[in-house]
Structure 1
Amino acid sequence: MKPPIALPTSTVARNALVLIAVVAGGAALYWLRDILTPLAMAIFLMIMIDGVKRSIEDRTPVPGRWAGLAALVVVVVGFFASIAFIANGAFSFFTDASDISSRIGPRLDQIILDGSRLLGISAAPTASELISRLDAPQYLAMIARQAQGVVTGAIFVMIYLGFLLASQSGFRRKIIGMFPERTARGEALEVFQRVRGGVEGYLWVQTVTGAMICAAAWLLMRWVGLENAEFWTFVIFIVGFIPVLGGAVAGLAPPMFALVQFESYWPALILLGGLQAILFISGNFIQPRMQGDNQNIDPVVVLLSLALWGQLWGVVGMFLSTPLAVMAMAILAEFRGSRWMAILLSGDGEPYAEETEPAPPRPRRARVNPPQSGAG
């Protein structure tokens, strides 16, 4: 009888340790989400500030110090203006929607009645009956807690951002201390440049395409006559940074509220068809041309990243899911031991293939068996 095959203990132990570390890291990210989510948003804003600063320096004669100050003002003001605009728009929207008995109630009753007839239901409930079954105080309390959490989170984001900007001046000295050798230091800076370039490229593509989508959507909503068109336009721009779910919200929310506003179904159908056409053209023709190698990520990875970070960090995790995936692929592609994971994350199996050529030349005798070099 043959002896059992001995498993490579070192490989098994290493894989087990990696699995345990991943599970423990995920648990830590979940338990510390109240602390880490503002920090992640602050790092995200700092990358935006750095990108805007370099853009100002390249395109204007403004010196570096004033360019950094201008970038800081633009990003911080834009951050708080976004929160204020959404809060004000939501408040006015719910104020208008609170008069359910005069306009919205009868319209909802008509929609429910038409839907019931279409489905063959004889006795349809009214909107007031459906709303009475809901626990309105509970939902209002939940909305109040969410609003309070947004305000508190924004304050912590600004605190973290201030400390990150203050410590940014010592980043170069820290790199020198961690990597005394010039070669290793250059490789570390190259990894950092790759990560920053990937995140900035993603932000640039999403911002430009989001602005195009919003311009077309605003014209369509104004032409149809949808109320609060500016609010919905801004919502479409913000949710555009959330993959998959953002497109669903942008393409379905305005038509649903058009059903309530108009007596006819045609404005809602026009909005539904027009918004879906705008999102289809942007997602299949404009974005792929602009993305290039910045988002060479498999769509399944994007979906899994959305689900994972959404489960760990909620809405903030959904917002940061794709940048975090871009950062992970950029970092993993730089190391030989983890490059296989970057290949799995990439869309075409070649993460940064243009810069991963084997550097050292092969011996002369290696020319007799070139197939051995295909591992990449």
Structure 2
Amino acid sequence: MKTPVAVPSSSVSRNAVALIATVAAGAALYWLRDILTPLAMAIFLLIMIDGVKRSVEARTPLGHRWAGIAALTLVVLAFFASIAIIVNGAAGFFGEASGVSQNLGPRIDQIIRDGYALFRLDNPPTAQDLVNGVDVRGWLTTLAFQVQGIASGAFFVLVYLGFLLASQAGFRKKIVTMFPQKAQRDEAVAVFERVRGGVEGYIWVQSVTGAMICVVAWGLMRAVGLQNAEFWTFVIFVVGFIPVLGGAVAGLAPPLFALVQFESYWPAAILLVGLQLILFVVGNFIQPRMQGDNQNIDPVVVLLALAFCGKMWGVAGMFLSTPLAVMAMAILAEFRGSRWMAVLLSGDGQPYAEEKAATRHRAGPEPTADT
């Protein structure tokens, strides 16, 4: 009979306390979601402004102050432009779709009949039969509340952003007061740099790869004649920041609308194959090379973070799920009691890029075909 492995009681108690604290923090985040959601979005925008400011300062003759003003102006204008594009684009989308909606019922009936005939099934339902089982009024009411929540949420995001910018000037003094010893202060700054670098890297990678996908998607939609291709292009770019679900929406929504708009199935098939191809190439070849060590997150953690943040904070939480996971891994790795959680969150068991470099240095160069 083998002797059981002795686990120090201090480790058990420390891990239990860390687990209980994590559950309690999750409950608090859910309970305070109405307050914390716009605050999280404001912090996200603040990190974007800081990254744009440093980029403008490095590439232009503008000083520190004017570079900050230029970055703030660019990010706020982009924020308002995104909201305007969503509202006006949606209005134009439904307006241009009015001609399609006149034949919507018969077209859906035809699609259902063709699908049943393809699989040799009998008694296909009609579009009216499907609609009768859906609470359209309740769905529209929910949609109206969602739109109202987006408008009010955008206002509170800007309010929080203004206060964060006002308090940013005293942040360095607070760091000095909190960590009077230089070694501790350098360590705290290093944690902040890791968090900021991970979030900025995520934004950069998603923006560049999203732009690549949008260029190809816009060309395909214009080639087949899909209505309001510009609106769909913007939707594809925005949902690209939502892991897993974003790719599904980008690859399926335009082909589904093409099924209704066109009498032939070929435009929808072209869009489906083309979008899935570009999503596969970007997601499996281009994006991993660009990510590097910025997003060393386990794919299961990405999925769980998406579900957890979506449950807590809705659509805004889905957008912030991956940056929040990056931030959590960087912070948890700094404490001995919670470092094991950072290791579990990481993709290869090494939360920090410098640890990976040190491991490669100790292991020596990788063998080649000639050795």
Q: With the length of structure 1 as denominator, give the TM-score of the two structures.
A: 0.89
Give the letter aligned to residue 308 of structure 1: F
Tell me the CA shift for residue 338 of structure 1: 3.0
Structure 2 unaligned runs (5+)?
A: 359-371
Give the letter aligned to residue 113 of structure 1: R
Instruction: Answer whether contact 1:179 1:185 (CA < 8 A) is retained.
Output: yes
Q: Which has the larger radius of gyration?
A: 1
SS at match of 1:55: helix
User: How has the CA–CA distance of structure 1 residues 100 and 72 changed in structure 2, closer, same or farther, with 3 Å as cutoff?
Assistant: same
SS at match of 1:62: coil
Specify the alignment match of 2:361 in structure 1.
none
User: How has the CA–CA distance of structure 1 residues 9 and 230 changed in structure 2, closer, same or farther, with 3 Å as cutoff?
Assistant: same
Deviates more, 1:133-142 or 1:33-42: 133-142
Specify the alignment match of 1:44 in structure 2.
44
Give the alignment of 1:281-320 within 5 angstroms: 281-320=281-320
Q: Deviations over 1:244-288 (max 9, x none)?
A: 110011001111001001111111111000001000110111111
Cα RMSD over matched residues?
Answer: 2.1
Aligned equivalents of 2:334 and 2:19: distance in 1?
21
Tell me the CA shift for residue 94 of structure 1: 2.7
Q: Deviations over 1:185-235 (max 9, x none)?
A: 111111111110111011111111111111111111111111111111001
Tell me the CA shift for residue 11 of structure 1: 4.0
Q: Deviations over 1:326-374 (max 9, x none)?
A: 111222233344333222222122222425899xxxxxxxxxxxxxxxx
1:118 counterpart = 2:118: yes
Specify the alignment match of 1:374 in structure 2.
none
1:251 counterpart = 2:263: no
1:322 counterpart = 2:299: no
Deviates more, 1:89-98 or 1:207-216: 89-98
Tell me the CA shift for residue 98 of structure 1: 4.8
Instruction: Answer whether contact 1:38 1:156 (CA < 8 A) is retained.
Output: yes
Tell me the CA shift for residue 10 of structure 1: 4.0
User: How has the CA–CA distance of structure 1 residues 200 and 5 changed in structure 2, closer, same or farther, with 3 Å as cutoff?
Assistant: closer
Aligned equivalents of 1:356 and 1:81: distance in 2?
40
Give the letter aligned to residue 348 of structure 2: D
Aligned equivalents of 1:47 and 1:277: distance in 2?
33
Q: Deviations over 1:295-317 (max 9, x none)?
A: 11111111111111111111111
Specify the alignment match of 1:34 in structure 2.
34
Specify the alignment match of 2:364 in structure 1.
none
Q: Deviations over 1:18-50 (max 9, x none)?
A: 232222111111111111000000000000000
Instruction: Answer whether contact 2:100 2:260 (CA < 8 A) is retained.
Output: no
Q: Deviations over 1:67-100 (max 9, x none)?
A: 1111111111111111111122222223344556
Aligned equivalents of 2:357 and 2:216: distance in 1?
43
1:203 counterpart = 2:226: no
Give the letter aligned to residue 64 of structure 2: G
Give the letter aligned to residue 116 of structure 2: S
Instruction: Answer whether contact 1:97 1:104 (CA < 8 A) is retained.
Output: no
Deviates more, 1:108-117 or 1:90-99: 90-99
SS at match of 2:295: coil
Structure 1 unaligned runs (5+)?
A: 359-376
User: How has the CA–CA distance of structure 1 residues 309 and 113 changed in structure 2, closer, same or farther, with 3 Å as cutoff?
Assistant: same
Aligned equivalents of 2:309 and 2:175: distance in 1?
29
Instruction: Answer whether contact 1:242 1:318 (CA < 8 A) is retained.
Output: yes
Give the alignment of 1:332-351 within 5 angstroms: 332-351=332-351
Q: Deviations over 1:148-186 (max 9, x none)?
A: 000010000000000000000000010011001111111
SS at match of 1:124: coil
User: How has the CA–CA distance of structure 1 residues 44 and 252 changed in structure 2, closer, same or farther, with 3 Å as cutoff?
Assistant: same
User: How has the CA–CA distance of structure 1 residues 286 and 151 changed in structure 2, closer, same or farther, with 3 Å as cutoff?
Assistant: same
Specify the alignment match of 1:62 in structure 2.
62
Instruction: Answer whether contact 1:48 1:75 (CA < 8 A) is retained.
Output: yes
Specify the alignment match of 2:242 in structure 1.
242
User: How has the CA–CA distance of structure 1 residues 51 and 7 changed in structure 2, closer, same or farther, with 3 Å as cutoff?
Assistant: closer
Specify the alignment match of 1:25 in structure 2.
25
Aligned equivalents of 2:47 and 2:7: distance in 1?
46
Bigger relative contact order, structure 1 or 2, given CA contacts below 8 A and separation 6+?
A: 2
Aligned equivalents of 1:239 and 1:100: distance in 2?
25
Specify the alignment match of 1:217 in structure 2.
217
Deviates more, 1:134-143 or 1:293-302: 134-143
Give the letter aligned to residue 44 of structure 1: F
Give the letter aligned to residue 58 of structure 2: D
SS at match of 2:242: coil
Q: Deviations over 1:1-26 (max 9, x none)?
A: xxx99985544433332232222111
User: How has the CA–CA distance of structure 1 residues 119 and 66 changed in structure 2, closer, same or farther, with 3 Å as cutoff?
Assistant: same
Instruction: Report the number of matched residues.
Output: 356
Specify the alignment match of 1:189 in structure 2.
189
Aligned equivalents of 2:118 and 2:36: distance in 1?
49
1:83 counterpart = 2:92: no
Give the alignment of 1:244-283 within 5 angstroms: 244-283=244-283
User: How has the CA–CA distance of structure 1 residues 11 and 250 changed in structure 2, closer, same or farther, with 3 Å as cutoff?
Assistant: same
Instruction: Answer whether contact 2:116 2:122 (CA < 8 A) is retained.
Output: yes
User: Structure 1 vs Structure 2: percent identity of aligned residues?
Assistant: 72
